[in-house]
Amino acid sequence: NLPVRYIFFFGIDINA
């Protein structure tokens, strides 16, 4: 859960 937007190969950006 990084404090940076992580883009998965699905195209999902998680802001955790």
Whole-prediction pTM? 0.05
Q: Tell me whether residue 8 is exposed, middle or buried, using C-beta atoms within 10 angstroms of its C-beta: 0 to 12, 13 to 18, 19 or more.
A: exposed
pLDDT of residue 8: 61
- Model pLDDT, residue 9: 56
Q: What is the predicted pLDDT for the residue at 7?
A: 63
- Residues 1-16 have pLDDT tens digits of 555 666 665 566 665 5
Q: What is the C-alpha radius of gyration for the chain, rounded to an integer number of angstroms? A: 7
* pLDDT given at position 15: 59
